[in-house]
Amino acid sequence: MKIKRIHINHFGKLNNETLSFGDGIHVISGENESGKSTLHAFFRSMLFGIERGRGRAARTDVYSRYQPWEGGSYGGVLELERDQSTYSIYRTFEKSSPVCRLADETRSRELEPSAENFSELLCGLTPALFGNTISVSQLKAETNADLADSLRNHIVNLHTTGSATLNVTRAIDSLRADKKKLEAGIVRDADQETEVLTEQLASLEQVLKDSSAEQEIARLEKKKGILEETIQFLGTRQQRMAHQQKRGENALTHYHFSHPAEADEVYAQTEELEAQADQYLSRYHRPLGLILRFALLLFSLLLAILLLFCGYHGIQRISSAQYPIAALFFGGSLLSGVGIFFAMRRFFAAASYHALMRELKGIWEDHFDEPPKRMTRKRLEDLKKKLNSCRNLFATMQDSQDSIANDMKKLMAAQTELNTLNQELEKAQHVSWQAEQMGERRRALEEQIEVLRGTVEENKAKKEDQAAIQLAIDTLQHLSTHVFDSFGYFLEETTSQILSGITGGAYTGVSIDTDLSISLDQNGRRVLLHQVSSGTMDQVYLALRLACIEFLWPDEAMPLFLDDTFALYDKDRLAATLRWLSENYTGQIFIFSCHTREEELLKELNIPHQSIQL
């Protein structure tokens, strides 16, 4: 795979740059901040695109770091050659409208920019392999764990399937993902939860069986209805009786009675006056009229005066012969006197009778409207009836008050009983509500238990699938380890040869573990990698990278990007490394440097190269 040309539209500080590349070594030099690392990042971004970070990471990710300083189209074109065909990769990294195009320039046709097409075009190169093999950033020659995984995957795929494109590691990862998905789908403690819920359901069913809240509510509501009817009846009767009481009080107030004793007293007084009137009537039958009584009294008086006058003058001249006549006159006089006496007596009795009647009329006037002009026997009876009605009204009012007080006691007792009944009914309704909730809970439990039983069965099936997946993973891992171990010798030998070449024979052998941990052989003595100098360590890792490149792409010349890789190399080490690369590495080599010593040594060693100044 050979990179022929790049065109940078806008990428970081680089704008509208076009660079062409040939075979062999290319030295890209410039001062610090001249854009060397930016150009290195452009190569990677054009090959694999740019993944944007999320959240706070987006502020310092590659996308943000290399956004155009002066604006413009963020992206460019990379033209490469493979199998005598030329391909162009067009990318625009704008977040609003990212574009990726892949074109076969030799055949003048557009290709689908799919992962499969890119993998084939880039010879299976991935971002992880790029960073661990053909690309060495500033002071980062050391590889990471991704390289071990990639190598293991490549070796196992190649050995077991005959093709490096069939990814066993990806298969294992897929199996692990499936197992994890099954694990996530398993409901924990489903069996135990089913047992607990079944016990709860049994308890609820027993409680619901023993519950008689509905019957108790019916009984209490019936009793409440009776009490409410009683309270309504007593309340209505109290209102009616209170209204009657008020009317009676108004009537008695109108009749000028404020107490029953007062009415009894007036009635007794009336009866006493009636008795006196009856006594007079029984003695004199009927009282004479005022004029008749006065006429009789005047007549009796005149007759008496006449008889006395005649008798007085007659006695002086009367003879014995006239004694009978005198006696007659005397007897008449005496009789007239008696008549006058009885007349006067009846006169004064009649006056007393009329005084009684006037007093009775005064009683009428004091207590009742429209008094009669003259008090008669009939009017007296009417007065007694009125007075007796007042007395009865007092008695009725008293009875009404007693009834009201009694009804009030009954009403208070009924209200108290109703309050108690309401409390009992509320409790019973709460118990009923609880029973309904327990019924809902029972139905929910039944549904949960049914679901959990299905879940238990699903868990069982998922666990069986997990066991099968784990068996497949264990088998693949065992195969992977076994196969990788069989290829470890090749990797150690190749790395040892390269290390010996670039160190001038200072180190003749390396030992590499399955996780690519390295130790060195120096004159028959085992030296751990951390015990050597930083420059030697960088050479070891570079040798490992070159061995991996040879192993991964034995038939393809891959480009090599070295970004200030030789910063810790002394002159001898650098000269040995450059000589070995020029003689043994078949692909393009891009050396990014802020110094001139790489180019000076290349010239000194007569090594062909192309210089690009930024």
**Secondary structure in 3-state letters for 585-605:** CCCCEEEEECCCHHHHHHHHC
Measured distance CA(164)–CA(129) in Å, rounded: 14
Question: Given this model, what pLDDT does residue 243 score?
Answer: 78
CA distances to 10, 74, 75, 319 from 16, in Å: 6, 11, 10, 199
Summarised one tens digit per residue, pLDDT across range 596-612 is 888 999 999 999 999 99
Q: Which of 304, 376, 375, 292 is nearest to 339 (CA)?
A: 304
Q: How far is CA 128 from the centre of its chain?
A: 47
How many angstroms from the chain centroid is the CA of residue 498? 68
Report DSSP state, residue 74: B
List all residues 6 or more positions away from 553 whose beta carbon is below 8 Å from its beta carbon: 123
Distance from C-alpha of 213 to C-alpha of 94, rounded to nearest angstrom: 72
Residue 509 to residues 193, 257, 496, 523, Cα–Cα distance (Å): 62, 141, 5, 9
Both structure tokens of 156: 């196992």
Assessment of whether the complete model's pTM goes beyond 0.75: no
SS3 141: coil
**Which residues of the chain, if any, have pLDDT below 70?**
55-59, 138-170, 190, 204-214, 281-351, 431-432, 434-436, 438, 476-488, 514-516, 524
- CA 101 to centroid of chain Cα atoms: 50
Q: What is the pLDDT of residue 31?
A: 85
The first and second tokens of residue 1, run together, are 């795979």
Residue 135 φ then ψ, to 5°: -125, 125
In whole angstroms, give the CA distance from residue 34 to residue 592.
11
| Spatial separation of the C-alpha atoms in residues 102 and 119, rounded to whole Å | 12
Q: What is the pLDDT of residue 161?
A: 45
What is the identity of the amino acid at 493? E
In this predicted structure, what is the pLDDT of residue 44? 93
Residue 254, number of CB atoms within 10 A of its CB: 11
How many CA atoms does the CB half-sphere of 77 hold within 13 Å?
15
Would you state the pLDDT for residue 140?
A: 53
Amino acid identity, residue 232? Q
Q: In DSSP terms, which residues pair with 504 in a beta bridge?
A: none
Sign, CA torsion 405/406/411/417: positive
SS (H, E, C) 289-356: CHHHHHHHHHHHHHHHHHHHHHHHHHHHHCCHHHHHHHHHHHHHHHHHHHHHHHHHHHHHHHHHHHHH
pLDDT at 605: 92
CA distance to 286, 395, 491, 547, 555, per residue, from 152 (Å): 156, 121, 11, 14, 19
User: Cα torsion for 482, 484, 488, 490, to the nearest 10°?
Assistant: 120
Q: What was the pLDDT predicted at 604?
A: 92
Q: Is 213 in contact with 400 (CB distance < 8 Å)?
A: no
